[in-house]
Structure 1
Amino acid sequence: MTHIPPPAEELRLLDAELWQLDARRAQLLARRAWLVAALQPKWQAPQPTGPRPAASPRPEASAPSVQNVLLVLGGVLLTIAAMVFTLVSWGHLGITGRTLVLGAVTVAALAAPLPLLKRGLRSTAESVAGLGLALTVLDAVALHGAVFPETSGAPYTAVASALLAALWTAYGLLPGATDLRLPRPAALVAAQLPLFFWAVAADAGSYGLTAALLVTAGFDTVVALRTTPGSVRVVAAIGAYAVGGWGALAAGLLTWTASGPSAAARAAALLLLASAIALAAAWQGGRTAARANGQALGLAVASGLLAVVALGGTARSLLPELWTVPAHLAFGIVLLAALRLDRLPDTVRRGLAWASGAVQALSLLWALPVVGVVVLGPLGWASRAWTGAPSDARTAVTVDVTWPPHAEAAPLVLAAVAAVLALTVRDTAWRPKATAGALSLAWATAITLPAVLELPYVAGLLIQGATTAGILTAAVFQRQRLTALVLALGTSASLACLALASQPATLTVLCGLVALFTAASWRLAPFTAPTALAYGAALAVAIGSAADWSPPHTALLVLAVPATAALLARRLGDSKATVPVEAAGATAGVLAITLAATDLPLLATVLALCGVITAGTAIRTDRRPVGYAAAALFLAAAWVRLAAWEVDTPEAYTLPVTIPALLVGALRHRRDPQTSSWTAYAPGLAATLVPSLVAAWGDPHWTRPLLLGVAALLVTLAGARHHLQAPLLLGGSVLLLDALHELAPYLVQVTDALPRWVPPALAGLLLLALGATYEHRLRDARKMRHFLGNMR
C-alpha cells in the first residue's frame, strides 16, 4: 500500500531536495572554475615593443595583365617597324630582296604561333599571330605598289580583302592553329569589304552599293547564327547590325527620294531584303535561349517596320500624296495577320504586332493636328460672337488657325485604328484600355468628318451635338464611363464655342446642352449637374444679350442659376453631387455680381439676392457656417446701396455692422458668461467708434464730435455699470480723444500767448510733481488694476 504524505509534508520534502541540488551545483561550478584557472599558461612570451615592419605593398597589376600588355605592345611595335620598313626602306632593295624579306618575315610570323601553342604560350602565340596577320596586309599594300601600280584602288581592295579573308580563314582552320582566337574574327572583318568595293569598282550606283551592304549583312547574319566560336559570333553580330543598319538606312533614303515607280520598286526590293534578313535572324533567335528573346523581339519589330516602309514607299510613288499615310497604315495593319500564324515563334509574332502598333501610333500622331483644330479652333469665336454664321464647318473651326495639309484622310486613319483596337485586342488585361482607345478614336472620327467634308455649318453643329449625346449616353450606361464623360465634356465645350458664330445657334445649342446634361444627371450627377448649371448660366447671359439687356440687368437673370443650385443641393442632401452643385451655383453668383458691378443700385440688389440665397442655404444644419457669408453679402448690399445714394457719413456704413455684432455678442455673453468682453463686444464697438473718431478729427463742425462724445460716454458708463473691460476702455479712450480734439484749438491759442520759457517750466514742474507723488500713484495704479481685474 503506497503512503501519500499530506500536501504540507510533501512541499517540505520538495524544498529540501531542491536546496541540496542547488548546493551541489554551486560546488561543481567552483571546482570547474579552479580547473580552468589551473590549465591556463602562467607565462606569456613578451610582445615586441618596437615599430612593426611595414607590410609589403600590394601589386597594382597582376602578372597576367603585365604579360598581356607587354605582348600587345611588342606586337604593335613590330607591326609599326614592318610598316616603316615597307614604306621607307623598300626602295633600297631589289625585287628579289623585297620578296625574300617580306615573305620570310610573314611566313616566320605565321609559323611561330604553332610551336608556341605546343609549349603552352598561348598569349605569346596570339600576339605573334596578330603580327603575322598585319604583315599580310602590308604584303598586299606592297604588292600593289610594286607589281600592280596601274590597278585602281577599289577593285584591288576588293580582291585583296577577299584573298586575305580566305587566307586568314584557312590559317585559322589549320590543325595546329585552331586554338588561336584572332585569325577567324579577323577574316570576318576582312570579309566586310569585298562586295562593297566591288560595287564601287563596277560603278553600281546607290542601289548597287546598298545591295552590297545588305548582302554583306546577310552573310554576317548567317555566320552569327551558324558559327560556334564566341569571338566569331560576336564579330559577325556586330557586322550584321552595323552594316545592315547602314544598308537599311540607305535603302530607306532611296525610297524617300525615289522619282518614280521603277526607282521606288528597286528601293522597296532592297528594304524587303533587309526585312527578310532581320526576320530570319529573329526567327532563329526566337527558338534559342530565353536571353536572346529580347534581340529577337527587336529584330522582328525592325523587320515589320522595314516591310511597311518598303510597301508604303511603292504605294507612295503610285498614289497621290494624300494617301501616303493611309497606305502605310494599311500595310501596318496587315502585319497583324502574323498573330494567326502558329508556325512563327511567339517572339516573332509579338515583334510584328509591336511593329504594327508603332505604325498605327505614328499614323495617329499625323492625324492629331486635325483633331486639335476641330476641338480647339472654335475658341476663336469667343472674341467674334454673333458676327455671322460661316459658310461651312471647316471655315467655322479655322477662324484663327490654319487647316493642316492633306487632312482629308485623317478620319479614315482614325476609324481604321479604332476598328483594329475594337476587333483585334482580346487579352483581358488590355481589353478595357483598347475599348477606351477605340471609343476615343470613334469620337475623333465623328467630330472631324464635318470639317473634312466641308459640310454646311448647321450640319456640323448637328453632328457634333449628336456626338455629344451619343458619348454621354455611353457614359450613362457605364461603357468606359470616365473616358466617355471626359470626351462628352470636351465636345460640349467645343460645340458651345462653335455655336457663338450665330445668335440662334447659340441659344439653341445652349438649351440643348442644358437639357442633355440635366437628363444625364440621374446617373452622373456629380459631373453633369454642375455642367448643366454652367451651361444654364451661359444661356442666361445669352438670353440677356439677345434681349438687348444691359449686363447689370442680365445679372438678375443669371441669379436663377445659384437659386436653382441651392434648391437642388438641399434636395441632394449628403450626395457626392452636393458640393459640385454648390460650387457651380457660387460661381454663377460671382458671375452675376461681376455683371452688375457697373450699376450700383442693381449691384446692391444682386448682392442682397445672393445673400437671401446664401441665408436659405445656411438654414441646413450642415451649412450653418455659410451664414457668415450671407451676413457679409447683406452688409455689402447695404454699403453699395448707401454708395449709390451718395451717402458719405461713415456711421451709415458702420452702424449696420455694429448693431448686429453687438446683438450677437450679447447673446453669446448671455449663453456663456465666461466669454471675454473683448470677444463679445470689442469688434462691434470698434466698427463704429474708430471710423467716427477719425471722421470727427477732420470735421470742423460740432455736431459729430458732440454725438460721438455722448455715445462714448454711454458706452463707458455701460462698461462701468456691468464691469465690462472692453466697453469701459474703448468708450473711455474715444471720449478722451474726442475731448482733446475739442480742446485742441484753445490749447493752441494758449500756447501762442505764453512766453517761450513757460512750456519747459511747466514740464519741469510736472516732473517734480510726478516724482513727489510717485508712491501715491503706484498705490492708485494697483487699486485700478485690481478693480479692472475684477471685471469680465
Structure 2
Amino acid sequence: MPRTTLDAMDNALPPAEELRLIDRELVRLDAHRARLLARRAWLLTALRAAGPAAGPSPGPVRSRGTAAETSPPGAQNALLALGGTLLAIAAVAFTVVSWGHMGIGGRALVLGAVTVAALGTPLLLLRRKLVSTAESVAALALVLTVLDAYALRRAVLPGTDALAYTAAAAGVLAAVWAGYARAGGGLRLPLPGAVVAGQLPLPLWALSAGGSAGAVAWAALATAGLDVLIALGARRKGVRAPAAACAVAAGGWSLLTGLWLSVSAASPAASVEPALLLLAGAALALAAAWRTPAPASASASASASASASAIATIGGLAAIAALGGVLRTAVPPDWAVPAYLLSAASLLAAVRIRAPRVVLTGLGAASGLVHLASALWAAPVVLLGLTGPAAVLENVWGGPPAPGAAPPGAATAPVVLAVVAAALWVAPRLLPAVPPPRPAGECAALVLAWSAAVAAPVALSLPLGPALAVQLSATAAALAQAARPSLAAALLPTARRAPGAGRNGRAADGTATPPEAARTPRATASPEATTSPGATGSARATATPTGSPPHPGSPAADPAPDDHTPPEAPGRTGGAAGAAAPAGRPEPPPYAPDPLRALAATALACALLSGTAAALLGLATRPATFTALGVLVALGATAAVTARGLVRTVAACATVVGSTGLVAATAAAAELPGHRIALALLAVPAGAALLGARLGRHPVAPAVEVTAAAVVPIAVALAAPNPPALALVLALAGVVAAGTAVRAERRPLAGYAAGALFVAATWVRLAASGVDTPEAYTLPATVPALALGLLRRRTDPSASSWTAYGPGLGATLVPSLLAAWGDAGWQRPLLLGLAALGVTLAGARRRLRAPLVLGGLTLALVALHELAPYVVQAVDALPRWLPPALAGLLLLAVGATYEQRLRDVRRFRESLGRMR
C-alpha cells in the first residue's frame, strides 16, 4: 500500500474519505493479482511447450558453504567425452594402421561387431535413463560408421573414384544417421551429424562429374536450400543451429562463386548464368529471412530480427550483383559503377511490396550499402575538383593550369553522385520501413548534389571559363540553401510527414495505422497515481486517459495473455496508459538537431569549400580573378542581408575576405609596389569601421570588424621592406582604431590598439630617420600612458598607482637610466636627475607609491653614478686600514641601534603601504 494512503489512514480521516481510499487500494490489488495470474499462466504454457527438459530438475540441494568447481553432471560429461574421444582415436588407429594385418574375415567381423555394438548400446542406455553415457557411445558409433565407409573403400572398392565414393558415402551416412536419430529419439548428436554430412553429396557429385565452378556452385546452393528447409522446420535448437550455419556456409560460397563469375564475365551471354545463380541465391536468402519465426522472448527476438535482416541484406546484395553484372557487360567500362548503382536504385522501388519488416530492412540496407560504396568511389573526383585549383598558386595570372590526371571512370562520377542524392531524396517515400534520420538524410542528399556539381569540371575536363561558372553556380546554390533552408526542406518528403508514419497513413513497417492511434492524445495518469511516491508498476497500470481507475474486470486491469507476446512482467508500465500512447508519431529525442539548422550549416560549409575553390581557380587570369571575386562578394553580401544567425555572420565575414582580395587584385593590376598595395588594403578596415558604426550593436558588426582588422597584419607585412611606408601604414591603422574607439562599446579594446599603433608608427619613423636617442622612443609612449593613468585614477580613485602610472614612468625612466650609466657626458644625468626629483616630489606630495619609489630609486642611482668617480678617488687617497675600520664602526652603530632601525623600517613600510 502506498505511504500516502497509510499516512492518510493514520491521520483519522472522515469515514467517507477512508472508505474511498480502501476501495481504491482494493482495485489496485485486484489489478495486480490479475496481472500476476496472467503471467503465471503464460509461463506454464511456455514450460509445457518446451518439454520436460526445460523444467527444474529434481535433485538434492547443496548446502551452503564452499561451492564446487565442477558440478556432478559436468564432471560426468567430461569423463564420458574423454572416454569417447580415446575410443574414437583407438578405432581410427586400428583401422588405418592395424587393418592390413588381418584377413578379410577378421576385418569384417571386427568392424561389424564393434559398429553394431556401438549403435545398439545407446538405445539400451536410454532405457535406463543414462542419457550422457548414451550420447558418448553414440558419438563413437558415428565415428565407427565413417571408418566402416573408409574401410569399405580401401578393402572392397579401391578402384572407384574418390570424389564419387565420398559423395555416395556421405549421402548414405547422412541417411543412416537420420534414421538412427529417429530410432533413438533421445539422442541429440546423430541428427546434427546427418545435417553436416549432407553438405557433401551434391557438391562432390558435381566435382566428380567434371562440372564447372558454376555447376559446383549450383550444387552448393541446392544444398543450402535443403539446409534452410531443415532450419525452418526443425523443432530442436541443436538441429536448427548447425543447419543454419551450414546454410550460411554453403550459400555464401555459392554466392561468392557467382559474384566472381559475374565480375569476370566479358559478354552479356557469359553473365547470364552467374546472374541466374545470384538471383537464385538472393531468392533463397529472402525466403529464409521471410520465413524466420519470431521467438517469444524479447532478447531472442532482437537477435533473430538482426540475423534475418542480415540474411535479407545478403539477398539484396546478391540481386544487385546479378542485375548489375548483366548491365556491366552491356555498357562501356567507365559505366560499370553506374550499372550496379542503377540496380541498387531499382531495388528501392521493389521494397514497396508487402513484406515483413526484417525483409524490408535488409533490402534497404543492401541498397544503402551499394549507394554508399558508389559515393565513396566518386569521392576522389570531388576532392580533385576542390584541391585542383590550388595549383594556380604556383603561377598566379599565368594562364589556366594544366589538367591533372583524373581517376579511372571519373567521367561518370557526377552521374553517380546525382543518382545517390536522388535516391536519398526519395528514400522516405520508397522505404517506409527504414526511413533515414531526417537531418542526416537531407544533409547527405544536399552534400551529394553539391558534390556532383563540383566534380563536373574534372569529369568533363572543362576549360577555365565553364569550370569557373560551374564552381560559382554551386556556391550560389549552396548559399541560397544556407540562407533559406526552409525552401529545400519543404520539397523533401520527410518535411511533410512525421517520422514513423508511412505514406497513405501506413506505419513504418508497412501496416495500416488506425486513425484513432494517430489522433489519441497522450494518456494522463490519475492524480492518485501521479502523486503517490510509493506507487510502482501496479499503480501506474491503473492510469487511464480519463483519470479514473479501471474495474477489476476491465481489459486494463485484467490483461489476457497472447500466444505470441508474453504479458507484461510485474512492475512494468502497462494498462490503458501504454495502449493509448500514439505509436505512429514517436517523440524526437531532446538532443536531436534542428533539421533546418543542420541543413543551413551543411549548405554553408559546401558554399565555403566551393567558393574557395572558385577563388583559387580565378587566379589563373586577371579577368577570371575579378569575375570570381566580384561574384563571390555579391553572393556573400546578399546572403549576409537575407540570412539569419550563423549563416549571416559567416557570409558577412566571407564578404570582407572577398573584398580584401578584390582590393589587392585591383592594386596588383595597377602594377603598384607592395607598400602601395598595403596602403590600399587599409581601405578594408576603414570601410568595416564605418559599417560597424552604421550597424551599431548589430550581432554581425563585431565579426565584420574583427575580420577586417585581420587585414592590418597583411598590410604591415607588405610594407615591412619600406620603413617610411610601414610607419605610414601603422599610423593610418591607428587612425582607424582611434575612430573606432569613439564608440563606447569599442572604446576599451580599440583605444589600446590605437595607442599601440601610434607608438609603433612613431618608433618606425624615428628608426627610419636614424634617431638613436632612447627618450625619443620612450616619451611618445610615456605621455599617452600617463594620460590614460590620470584618467583611470579620476574614474577609479581606488586604483593603484602602480597600475595607473607605473608602466608610463618605467617606460622612460628605466631606458634613460641605462643610457645615463653608459653616457660620459653630464647633460643626460642632470636632466634625468631633475626629472626623477620632480617625480619623487610629486609622488610624496600626492602620496603615490609608484612615482615615489621609481623616482627615488632613479634619483639615487643617478647620484651614485655621478659620485662614483669621486668616491673611488677618495678611497684611493685614504690609508688601507681606514675602510675596514669605518665598516666596523658602521656595524657597531647599526648593532647598537638595531631595534630602533627595525622600528624605522617598519614605519617606512607602513607609510608606503598607506600610499596608493
Q: 1:423 to 1:740 in 2, by over 3 A?
A: same
How far 1:300 moved relative to its partner? 1.1
Q: Which residue, 319, 325, 343 being the options, matches 1:331?
A: 343
Question: 359, 378, 386: which is aligned to 2:397?
Answer: 386
Equivalence for 1:280: 287
2:854 maps to 1:730: yes
Matching residue of 1:295: 307
SS of 1:148's partner is coil
In the alignment, is the contact (CA less than 8 A) between 1:155 and 1:198 conserved in 2? yes
Whether 2:682 is the aligned partner of 1:562: answer no
Matched, 1:415 2:418: yes
Name which of 587, 593, 596 aligns with 2:719.
596
Q: Name the % identity.
A: 52
Q: 2:29 aligns to what?
A: none
> Which residue is equivalent to 2:605?
486
1:197 lines up with 2:204 in the alignment: yes
Equivalent of residue 360 in structure 2, options 341, 345, 349: 349
- Which of 513, 533, 550 is matched with 2:673 structurally? 550
Partner of 2:291, secondary structure, is helix
Structure that is richer in helix per residue: 1
Q: Which residue of 1 aligns with 2:759?
A: 635
Deviates more, 1:242-251 or 1:497-506: 242-251
- The answer to whether the 8 Å contact 1:285/1:296 transfers is yes
1:598 and 1:522 map into 2 onto residues whose CA distance is 40
2:76 aligned with 1:73: no
Counterpart CA distance in 1 for 2:898 and 2:829 is 35
Q: Residues 595 and 114 of structure 1: is their aligned pair in 2 closer, same or farther, counting only changes over 3 Å?
A: same
Amino acid at match of 2:418: A
Q: Is 2:406–2:459's contact at 8 Å kept on the other side of the alignment?
A: no
The structural deviation recorded for 1:487 is: 1.7
Q: Deviations over 1:722-751 (max 9, x none)?
A: 443332332222112112222333334444
Residue type of the alignment partner of 1:420: A
Q: CA deviation at 1:579?
A: 2.4
CA gap 1:228/1:57 in 2 versus in 1, 3 angstroms = closer
User: Kindly tell me: are residues 140 and 691 of structure 1, through their superposed partners in 2, closer, same or farther at Cα, counting changes over 3 Å?
Assistant: same
Mapped contact 1:286–1:348 kept (Cα < 8 A): no
Go from structure 1 to structure 2 and tell me whether the alpha carbon gap of 1:55 and 1:244 turns closer, same or farther (over 3 Å shift).
Answer: closer
1:531 aligns with 654
Q: Does structure 2 conserve the Cα–Cα contact (< 8 Å) formed by 1:513 and 1:532?
A: yes
Among 633, 653, 656, the alignment partner of 1:514 is 633
> Which residue in 1 is equivalent to 2:843?
719
Superposed counterparts of 1:47-66, under 5 Å = 58-66=67-75
Q: Equivalents in 2 of 1:709, 1:717: separation in Å?
A: 12
Shift of 1:777: 4.7
Q: Given the alignment, which residue of 257, 262, 284 partners 1:255?
A: 262
Q: What are the Cα deviations for residues 75-110 of structure 1, in whole angstroms up to 9, with x where unaligned? A: 222222322332333334321222122112211211
* Alpha-carbon shift at residue 385 of structure 1 (Å): 1.0
> Within the alignment, does 1:238 sit opposite 2:245 as a pair?
yes
What TM-score results when the alignment is normalised by the length of structure 2? 0.75
What whole-Å deviation, never above 9, does each CA across 1:665-719 have from its counterpart, x for those lacking one? 3344445555443333332222211110001111122221121112112222333
Aligned match of 2:449? 442
Quick one: structure 1 residues 757 and 262, their matched pair in 2 at CA, closer, same or farther if it must change by over 3 Å? farther
Asked if 1:308 is matched to 2:308, the reply is: no
User: Which residue of structure 2 lines up, in the alignment, with residue 541 of structure 1?
Assistant: 664
SS at match of 2:462: coil
Q: How many residues align?
A: 728
**Residue number in structure 2 paired with 1:46:** none
Report the equivalent of 1:267: 274
What's 1:127 paired with?
136
Q: Which amino acid aligns with 1:296?
A: A
Q: Does 1:495 align with 2:614?
A: yes
Gaps of 5+ in 1: 1-53
Equivalent-residue separation in structure 1 for 2:793 and 2:467 (angstroms): 67
Whole-Å separation in 1 of the counterparts to 2:239 and 2:904: 110
Counterpart of 1:8 in structure 2 is none
Shift of 1:589: 2.4
Q: Which amino acid aligns with 1:542?
A: A
Higher-RCO chain (CA-CA 8 Å, sequence separation at least 6): 2
1:120: how far off?
1.7
SS at 1:285 equivalent: coil
Residue type at the aligned position of 1:403: A
The alignment status of 1:697 with 2:704, answered yes or no, reads no
Structure 2: unaligned runs, 5 residues or longer: 1-62, 488-598
Distance 2:696 2:910 in 1: 54
Q: Is the 8 A contact 2:288 2:311 kept in 1?
A: yes
Counterpart contact for 1:604–1:641, Cα < 8 Å: yes
Shift of 1:146: 1.2
The Cα of 1:334 is off from its aligned counterpart by 1.0
Deviations 1:248-285 (A, max 9, x none): 22332233334554543333333223222212211212
- Tell me the alpha carbon deviations over residues 435-489 of structure 1, each in whole angstroms, 9 at most, x when there is no partner: 4333322222223223322333112212222232233223333344332222222
1:65 CA displacement: 1.4
- Corresponding residue for 2:733? 610
CA distance in 2, matches of 1:224, 1:409: 44
What is the SS of the residue equivalent to 2:222?
helix
* Aligned counterparts of 1:676 and 1:72: Cα–Cα separation in 2: 91
* TM-score for the superposition, normalised by structure 1: 0.87
Secondary structure at 2:292 match in 1: helix
Asked whether the equivalents of residues 339 and 350 of structure 1 are also in contact (C-alpha less than 8 Å), the reply is no
CA distance in structure 1 between the partners assigned to 2:68 and 2:634 by the alignment: 87
Which amino acid is the alignment partner of residue 786 of structure 2? L
Distance 2:764 2:128 in 1: 111
1:266-307 deviation line (CA, Å, top 9, x unaligned): 333332232222122112127787453222211111111112
Q: 1 CA distance for matches of 2:907 and 2:104?
A: 134
Does the Cα contact within 8 Å between 1:411 and 1:448 map onto a contact in 2? yes
> Per-residue deviation at 1:331?
0.7
| Aligned equivalent of 1:453 | 460
Provide the alpha-carbon RMSD of the alignment: 2.5
Among candidates 350, 369, 373, match of residue 384 of structure 2:
373
Cα 1:163–1:674 change in 2 (3 A) is: closer
